[in-house]
């Protein structure tokens, strides 16, 4: 077996303390069901092009949110959580039940998730190495689900210069960043376009569930 296949044969494993990886957490039917719910969310809260604070440079990933709070960024106000979608003035749609189920199945926090960031990666989108640190509730984990094309996910330690590793995240895979890994640097180097048949349009959705306060 290749190293990849060995890794994927596990029911779930810690890649490093606090960083839990569950290959095939969602089977194909669950992926399709979650995708249908996600499309309904996006009909209400369409994907938008997020911009970096100050520089105003666009991110290559398109974003939206579900839940009582949504992570948002634009040039003028920067990274923050918003209870109302700045694009529509309406509350964000509720978190899809299957996504919330992942929080309860895989996370270890007694309280419900408050935010679910939706990232959409087109074939050439990526996300630089960063920490998720706009939340006050750093005791609660980040639970992440992948739908669509496989990506190369990079992760390291709490310092940007710590050594990093990459794994392939396939459609249906889950990652939990908790405990010692809650502030681990992570990012997406690139997609493997055409690796999944889930999304007719291609690309990849990633959902990350969090508590904010």
Using CB under 5 A as the criterion, which residues of the chain lie in contact with Fe ion when the complex forms?
A: 132
Binding residues with ligand SIN: total (CB under 6 A): 8
Which one-letter DSSP state was computed for residue 91?
B
Q: Read off φ and ψ for residue 145, nearest 5 degrees.
A: -120, 140
CA distances from 167 to 21, 22, 26, 159, 170 (A): 10, 12, 18, 19, 10
122/130 Cα distance (integer angstroms): 19
Write out the binding residues for ligand SIN, residues 174-203 only, by CB under 6 A: 186, 188
Q: x/- contact string, 101-120, with ligand SIN (CB under 6 A)?
A: ------------------x-
Instruction: Find the shortest distance in angstroms from Cβ 12 to ligand SIN.
Output: 17
Instruction: Find the shortest distance in angstroms from Cβ 89 to Fe ion.
Output: 26
Partner in contact with 62, chosen from Fe ion, ligand SIN, none, beta carbon below 5 to 8 Å by kind: none
Burial class of residue 195, CB neighbours in 10 A (0-12, 13-18, 19+): middle
Return the number of the residue (98 or 176) whose C-beta is nearest ligand SIN. Answer: 176
Q: Read off φ and ψ for residue 140, nearest 5 degrees.
A: -90, 145
DSSP H helices in the chain: 3-8, 28-44, 97-106
Return the number of the residue (140 or 188) whose C-beta is nearest ligand SIN. Answer: 188
Query: And the tokens for 161?
Result: 């210069």
Please check whether residue 190 is in contact with residue 150, taking contact to mean a CB–CB distance below 8 angstroms.
no
Write out the binding residues for ligand SIN, residues 113-172 only, by CB under 6 A: 119, 127, 144, 153
Instruction: Find the shortest distance in angstroms from Cβ 39 to ligand SIN.
Output: 18
Instruction: Find the shortest distance in angstroms from Cβ 152 to ligand SIN.
Output: 10
Instruction: Find the shortest distance in angstroms from Cβ 32 to Fe ion.
Output: 25
Q: x/- contact string, 29-58, with ligand SIN (CB under 6 A)?
A: ------------------------------
Please select the residue that binds ligand SIN; options are 65, 85, 150, 208, rule is CB under 6 A.
208
Instruction: Find the shortest distance in angstroms from Cβ 198 to ligand SIN.
Output: 15
167/21 Cα distance (integer angstroms): 10
Residue given tokens 């959705």 in the structure block:
205
Q: 190: helix, coil or strand?
A: strand
Give the binding site for ligand SIN (CB under 6 A). 119, 127, 144, 153, 186, 188, 206, 208
């Amino acid at each position: 077996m290749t190293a990849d296949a060995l890794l994927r044969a596990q029911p779930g494993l810690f890649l490093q303390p606090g960083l839990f990886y569950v290959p095939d957490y969602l089977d194909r039917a669950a992926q399709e069901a979650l995708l249908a719910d996600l499309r309904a969310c996006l009909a209400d809260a369409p994907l938008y092009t997020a911009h970096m604070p100050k520089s105003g440079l666009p991110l290559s990933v398109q974003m939206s949110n579900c839940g009582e709070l949504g992570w948002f960024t634009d040039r003028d106000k920067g990274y923050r959580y918003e209870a109302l979608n700045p694009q529509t003035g309406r509350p964000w749609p509720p978190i899809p039940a299957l996504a919330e189920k992942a929080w309860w199945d895989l996370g270890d926090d007694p309280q419900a998730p408050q935010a679910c960031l939706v990232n959409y990666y087109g074939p050439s989108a990526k996300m630089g190495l960063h920490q998720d640190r706009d939340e006050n509730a750093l005791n609660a984990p980040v639970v992440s689900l992948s739908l669509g094309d496989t990506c190369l996910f990079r992760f390291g330690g709490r310092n940007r210069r710590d050594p990093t590793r990459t794994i392939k995240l396939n459609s249906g895979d889950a990652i939990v960043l908790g405990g010692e890994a809650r502030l681990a640097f992570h990012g997406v180097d690139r997609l493997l376009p055409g690796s999944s048949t889930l999304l007719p349009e291609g690309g990849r959705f990633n959902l990350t569930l969090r508590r904010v306060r």
